[in-house]
Structure 1
Amino acid sequence: MDVAVVGAGPTGLALGIDLARRGVDALVVEAGEKLFPGSRGKGIQPRTQEVFDDLGVLGAMRAAGGPYPPQRFWKNGEPLETKPMFDAVAADEGTPYTEPLMVAQWRTQEVLYARLRELGGRVEFGRAVTGLDQDARGVTVRFADGTTARARYAVAADGGRSTVRRAVGVGMTGEPVDPSPFLVADLRVRGLDRDHWHTFIGDDGHGVALCPLAGTDDFQLGARLPEGTEVDLSLEGLRRLVTTYSHLDAADITGLRWASDFRPRAALADRFRVGRVFLAGDAAHVHSPAGGQGLNTSVQDAYNLGWKLAAVLTDRAPEALLDTYEEERRPNAAAVLGLSTRVHHGEVRRGAATVQLGIGYRQSSLAEETRANPGPVRAGDRAPDGRNADGVRMFDAFRGPHWTLLTPEPVDGVRGLPAPRSYGPGVFLVRPDGYVGWAGETTAGLRTYAARTGAFGVGAGADAA
């Protein structure tokens, strides 16, 4: 086996999909007997929608969810005002998706799992990992039932309490975001319309909110409670909570699907790689849920790592390429952690700051900008959508596991595509994860870059390098 992925949440499933479509022999193992049952991470940001477009699941995600409703505030049983949940972000040719998509996390995982199975990928449930050992050749993963599995690499996608992270001795540095206890639950509710995110907040800042979950019959309950509150996650306990803060009666809460309590925390793993073991998702960074950043950052960890593992495993790139995963993703996660905390405290509005379209890797060693006067799109930037003079849409050209060469002239027999005018002048080599890796005035120096990244290796698409 090439890769053992520990955890079948959004991170592990997304990585499994990316590896499966590249022909990598990977196994996803999950301690639970089934997929996670709750709605917890329900916001799919525009950048992650672009990732899901590439992975072949965006249509299914849209069918499984829907747009966010406006927020309606209540006081003493009367509606006070209604506000949009997000500041609008203008769409243009380069950014076709600008609004967050609401999909209950359990639905997201169902869609990803179905896609993984479609590609021939594997998930084994009821496989709790207890530890692992690694040597120069690979990793031995140990399971609670006494069995083991051997892989060339392992990825910890097993959440904030990651067993794998502890097994490799990586600490997490962080702090509480809010001293108040929080809870989240999926409820059946009557007496509220499904066109608003209903919010009942007291003068002390504590209270509850009930959001209709797109694509389901449930509402997601979110609550911030006074310090010292005993949290009761039973149906009766949640009924008491809702009736305390809202005008609803206990009988209006007709069912409970799932519930969990937590203390908002921001924490970052000290390392994202130890030898042949990589940390991704909540195993590497834990966020406040405010602003919908955690799941999205986690999926993008997987998207960054998948192509690099495949390039090294197939001997198209040197092993040093894997060092760029931590180089690129850890600073990104640190920045997003700070953003999530500021959103939690009301210092930043949801909108342009939270859609993740501005994330890039200009400081990465994989970003080579060789032009004296770069245009609007530089090495390390997200490669925008758009159409070139031939009418070819960039996101259509990028879709798939390949690199994409944007230049009218062929390189080493690889046919390129003209770049849209919006990119500015130059030659662009777009990475499999949709970022510009190399940019130059001509193709001079491109072959050297390709040799260290596997860009011109076996398996490139007809229109890709």
Structure 2
Amino acid sequence: MTRNPAVDLLICGAGAAGLTLAIELARRNVSFRLLDKMDEPFRGSRGKGIQLRTQEIFEDLDIIDRVVVAGGVYPPQREYRDDGSYVESDVVEHASPTPAEPYRLPLLVPQFLTESVMRERLAELGHRVEYGCELVGVEQDQDCVTARIAAQAGDQTVHARYLVGADGGRSFVRAALGIGFPGKTLGVRAVVADVFLTGLERDAWHRFNEGSMERQLSLCPLAGTDLFQVQAPVALEGDVDLTAAGLAAMVAERTGRDDMRVHSVSWASAYTMNARLADRYRDGRVFLVGDAAHIHPPTGGQGLNTSVQDAYNLGWKLAAVSAGASDELLDSYEEERRPIAGDMLGLSTRLLDEMKRGELRRGREVQQLDIGYPESSLAMECPERSAGLLAGDRAPDAPIRRATGHSTRVFELFRGIHWTLLGYDVERDKVAPRAGLRIHTFGARGDVIDDGGHFRDAYAPQSGDWVLVRPDGYVGAIVASDRIESLERYFRIGGLALAN
């Protein structure tokens, strides 16, 4: 018997991944419910680094200014020697914005503040998180997913077209589907805690005993709050005292100072570091995003960012299929995102080894600007290109002008839920208008002007080229005018119907 789903999407887990997905669906008018088994929002700072690619995504989601105001930039790193002297260095590479890369400094924003901004954006779009709702059963057939939910108001059974597990490293969804989660335990256990501490300046990230896994300690001021984040490796076995008194004793013992006071603990956790990757990201009508699909050490500040980008990749595809696009579009989610997570696990594990030696430095590799999908089935070039921007690459920004003379940016052309087709020295009427597609052209009678040459520098177009940019800001296709008919495959997969 065919069942009619009550909603298009059921999202289990309201962390950064679940909230990103919810925002993506809400702004596309896709019906969903966002559930979390906790009774209230997460209040810790576990994921505090916002990398450059994520900042670009937050611009598109219309929250970047609020995120910037909520936090700040990373302070310098102050490494103390045994005699009490210290040396300062930058935690991250400093670089100036460029026309193609407008964000060049990672942000330090406690996770609970980032997620608060995201919930505010979701509320603006008319939705909210349903707390105290725990997923306790999952079944699926060819028509829908049936989910059993335990809630204070009473148990529920919900039918949805799709279910997304954004429910963390101990994912119920992943376990219920029997999806393997292979990997390894990395032999490091650590404490992370948000504390109210006095006696220490807030102008630096204070690090003690670098290179010693027995006595290493870092105290990072959390921008936007009056808290410090404590990070410290601890013994693999045994209880850890996470009270204010216990953490105060650890700070005093590892710093050799008696002038600091831990007055209270806002949140604390002791955890063992693992590197694990789900065997698959999709099982029929069920998908995994974020920590439900991959877990890793926190070194390099990759986790929250990778989770946000998982959801950003999946969101527009689920919305397109819900609106009538081919289901094969959903197969590209695992195809594109699982290799990225595999690389991220390798990077964060390597950085963990550097941290153990007291040599941790973060370069461009953690910024996630170079992530792309060149091997994706959604990457198309006609004819094939050998240099410059390629299909699957992140679509760069560039300052340009509108035909009215007003300044704008390529990112402004992308902002929103649509696809974007950019033509360079082309005849605009070669492409018929379609719902969900914005067309802009450079050249004679074009509506945008590259008088600074920044678009040409970033995209390396040939005369007659068309560049199709996906809703998530990646280049889907680059085709010459005499091969323009090849875009029909893309339009069909993406559900871009001819306008009536």
Q: Same fold (TM over 0.5)?
A: yes
Equivalences for residues 13-412 of structure 1 within 5 A: 13-76=19-82, 78-145=84-151, 146-177=155-186, 179-201=187-209, 204-206=212-214, 207-228=216-237, 230-249=239-258, 252-315=261-324, 317-346=325-354, 349-388=361-400, 390=402, 391-407=407-423, 408=426, 409-410=428-429, 411-412=431-432
Distance (whole Å) between structure 1 residues aligned to residue 148 and residue 95 of structure 2: 47
**Per-residue deviation, 1:446:** 1.2
**Per-residue deviation, 1:180:** 2.9
Maintained 8 Å contact 1:88/1:351: no
Q: Which amino acid aligns with 1:416?
A: I
Q: Which amino acid aligns with 2:478?
A: A
Match of 1:421 in 2: 456
Distance (whole Å) between structure 1 residues aligned to residue 318 and residue 394 of structure 2: 20
| Partner secondary structure for residue 417 of structure 1 | strand
TM-score w.r.t. length of structure 2: 0.88
Q: Which amino acid aligns with 1:380?
A: G
| Partner secondary structure for residue 260 of structure 1 | strand
**Per-residue deviation, 1:457:** 6.4
Change (3 A) 1:371 1:388: farther
Maintained 8 Å contact 2:21/2:311: yes
| Partner secondary structure for residue 152 of structure 1 | strand
Distance (whole Å) between structure 2 residues aligned to residue 338 and residue 458 of structure 1: 46
- Per-residue CA deviation, residues 317-351 of structure 1 (Å, 9 max, x unaligned), is 11111011011011111111111111111187312
Distance (whole Å) between structure 1 residues aligned to residue 209 and residue 497 of structure 2: 57
Change (3 A) 1:149 1:248: farther
**Per-residue deviation, 1:278:** 0.1
**Per-residue deviation, 1:202:** 6.0
Match of 1:433 in 2: 472
Change (3 A) 1:150 1:406: same
TM-score w.r.t. length of structure 1: 0.94
Distance (whole Å) between structure 2 residues aligned to residue 138 and residue 92 of structure 1: 46
Match of 1:462 in 2: none
In structure 2, stretches of 5+ residues that fail to align are 1-6, 443-454
Indicate the RMSD between aligned Cα atoms, in angstroms. Answer: 1.8
- Per-residue CA deviation, residues 10-40 of structure 1 (Å, 9 max, x unaligned), is 0000100000000000110000111101011
Runs of 4 or more consecutive aligned structure 1 residues displaced over 6 Å after TM superposition: none
Maintained 8 Å contact 1:388/1:418: no
Distance (whole Å) between structure 2 residues aligned to residue 155 and residue 394 of structure 1: 32
Change (3 A) 1:65 1:202: closer
Maintained 8 Å contact 2:401/2:409: no
**Per-residue deviation, 1:89:** 4.1
Distance (whole Å) between structure 2 residues aligned to residue 95 and residue 246 of structure 1: 40
Q: Which amino acid aligns with 1:412?
A: A
Higher strand share: 2
Distance (whole Å) between structure 2 residues aligned to residue 343 and residue 370 of structure 1: 39
**Per-residue deviation, 1:225:** 2.2
Larger Rg over CA atoms: 2
% identical equivalent positions:
47
Change (3 A) 1:236 1:77: farther
**Per-residue deviation, 1:450:** 1.0
**Per-residue deviation, 1:107:** 0.4
Q: Which amino acid aligns with 1:70?
A: P
Change (3 A) 1:432 1:243: same
Distance (whole Å) between structure 2 residues aligned to residue 351 and residue 24 of structure 1: 38
Maintained 8 Å contact 1:26/1:122: no
Change (3 A) 1:223 1:166: same
**Per-residue deviation, 1:254:** 1.4
Change (3 A) 1:205 1:457: farther
Distance (whole Å) between structure 1 residues aligned to residue 276 and residue 498 of structure 2: 38
In structure 1, stretches of 5+ residues that fail to align are 460-465
